[in-house]
Amino acid sequence: MAQGNRNGKPARALSARGANWPYGPSDELTRDDLARELIGVCMQALKTYGLDDRRLARLAAAVAKERLPGVSRSALLLSDIERLSKTINKWGEDPHYLDATGRPGVLPIAGEKHCFAELARAFFPKRNCLDVVTLGCNTHVMERVGLKKVAMINNAVLFPGNHSLTLAHTVRTVRRFLGTAHYNRHVSADAVFGLPDRAADVDISAQDFVEFVSMIRPQISGLVEMTDRWLIQRSRLRRNRLKRKRLAGIQVFVFRE
């Protein structure tokens, strides 16, 4: 949905200089130009991860030849991260893994009851315990204590600062956004009730952006938590248990171009 600027200033418009005007939203040339722009945006973003033009061209050619979608590397990686987060949660909540002060205890990796291997098996039944330890250390949620023990140093798996996790999260976000766009393509304007999907954006300074992030993130967290509770409750209804289901939800993020 597009709307006027609420501050009274004229909305920013893209220059048509150099474009093959006039052509409209249904024109094939428009579609080609927008597709080229989307590909360009993705290519520029991937270059920031150390992929050069030649490597990107080779990967794009390989993808174009694939008849069936390959194994989703992002889904596999993010699935491991979700399992790791559940492992950390149990470590911090189960009395068997807490110390005398009620904090997550330093655990032996293996060989004893209530060791980390026992904890990891609950969520990584097909993985080697040492691989899980390596994953935890690489994502800065735990650290080794000597050769035979581990300690929790963070109660959340953080994506910022980790290129692979950030890129995997980006792939998932783009896939979800494109799925939303596909849905919106087939919804008529008459069927939209309430306010449709919308965005808010204004030019602000770098300092204002930092303050905006601090102000809006608690609101976003509250909205996501409320949404999560509604979706889980609806999914558990008896009448919905045998119905075909697909993953759905809400994902919100703060951006700055």
Give the pLDDT confidence of 21-70 residue by residue, as tens digits: 555 666 778 888 888 899 999 999 999 989 999 999 999 888 888 876 66
Give the pLDDT confidence of 176-234 residue by residue, as tens digits: 888 888 888 877 766 666 666 677 889 999 999 999 999 999 999 999 999 999 998 88
In angstroms, the CA 98 to CA 63 distance is 48
* Per-residue model confidence (pLDDT) at position 180: 84
Helix (H) or strand (E) holding 182: helix 163-185
Indicate the average pLDDT of the chain: 84
Mean pLDDT of 120-140: 92
* Per-residue model confidence (pLDDT) at position 4: 46
Helix (H) or strand (E) holding 151: strand 149-152
* Per-residue model confidence (pLDDT) at position 10: 45
- Other beta carbons within 10 Å of 139: 22
* Per-residue model confidence (pLDDT) at position 131: 94
Domain ranges of the chain: 23-70, 72-194, 199-238+251-257
What is this structure's pTM? 0.71
pLDDT at 173 over 80: yes
Which pairs with CB-CB distance under 8 Å and at least 24 residues apart come from 21-24? none
Which pairs with CB-CB distance under 8 Å and at least 24 residues apart come from 103-110? 104/151, 104/152, 104/155, 106/145, 106/149, 106/150, 106/151, 107/149, 107/150, 107/151, 108/148, 108/149, 109/133, 109/148, 109/149, 109/150, 110/148
* Per-residue model confidence (pLDDT) at position 164: 86
Q: Which of 10-14, 30-34, 201-205, 236-240 has the highest mean pLDDT?
A: 201-205
Strand partners, 104: 98
Give the pLDDT confidence of 144-170 residue by residue, as tens digits: 999 999 999 988 888 877 888 889 989
How close are the terminal C-alpha atoms of the chain, in Å? 19
The residue that leads in pLDDT, 163 or 108, is 108
- Other beta carbons within 10 Å of 47: 13
* Per-residue model confidence (pLDDT) at position 159: 81
Helix (H) or strand (E) holding 44: helix 28-47
* Per-residue model confidence (pLDDT) at position 238: 84
φ, ψ at 55 (rounded to 5°): -65, -40
Phi-psi region of 239 (alpha: psi -120 to 50; beta: other; left: phi over 0): alpha
In angstroms, the CA 132 to CA 84 distance is 8
* Per-residue model confidence (pLDDT) at position 240: 82
* Per-residue model confidence (pLDDT) at position 12: 47
* Per-residue model confidence (pLDDT) at position 130: 94
Strand partners, 142: 152
